[in-house]
Amino acid sequence: MDQPTQEIRFKIWAVDDVVYGPVDLPTLAEWVRDERVLAETWVYSCHENKWSPAGQMKELRAVFNAVQPGGAAAAGAAVPAPLIAGIRPGALRRVKILGEMTDQQLGRFAQFMEVENVRQFHTIVKQGDPGDSMFLILEGELRVRQMIGGKETVLVTLLAGEFFGDISLFDHGPRSADVVANNNSVLLKVSATNFQRLLQDAPELATPFLVAICKTLTARIRADNRRLRDSINVARATR
């Protein structure tokens, strides 16, 4: 007698050598329809204890036929996007605010980001420009600066694993400073449009993402408060 559908679990071996899952059959079918799982993607059936290409699984045959009549693996068919969008989920763990997400969550979250390769000395955002995206630093080093009296004042240096521009996702206000690449860098861009899509389509991903941002912002505010208090104490002591 077959197991109930909700008890049948599967694992997916993605193109980046990361195994996702276990997931249930409805989720797996949804991934097929979204073209995140292809006919040649290897899927492990937990109840049958074996690996097989998704296109050969009887549970998914009708789904593939609906996606592409005649079979999703038809000769000459264009290869859709992989499970993640151009980056390995493991590399995303370099960004601190994504560190607590599971591999499955990271793979899904990548669908809401764009990868930007930035050359050394390139200005990523300019002071005064409208803010419409935040950036996560995957590789490289950036400096946040303001031009005062024609001279550059560096406010802070940002390294791999940090992020900036997050406030613009909420108020779309002007950028408060320039951000310039100190060397060749790889950034992950979350646009305001994709952020809204994340909130609407994947609130279970948006929640841990927002909580992680809030924790970081709280730590920054506390650090700024300590610096302000120390500055006041020094000023009072030198009077």
Q: What is the DSSP string of 125-161?
A: E-TTSBP-EEEEEEESEEEEEEEETTEEEEEEEEETT
pTM for the full predicted model: 0.61
Asked if residue 163 lies in contact with residue 124, where contact means CB atoms within 8 angstroms, the answer is no
Query: Residues of CATH 2.60.120.10 domain(s) within the chain?
Result: 89-231
Return the pLDDT at 153.
Answer: 93
Q: What pLDDT digit, counting tens, does each position of 106-128 carry?
A: 877 888 888 899 999 999 999 99
CATH architecture of the domain 89-231 equals: Sandwich (2.60)
Helix H or strand E encompassing 105: helix 103-109
Q: Rounded distance, CA 56 to CA 137, Å?
A: 40
What is the dotted CATH code of the domain comprising 5-67?
3.30.1490.40
User: Is 80 exceeded by the pLDDT of residue 199?
Assistant: yes
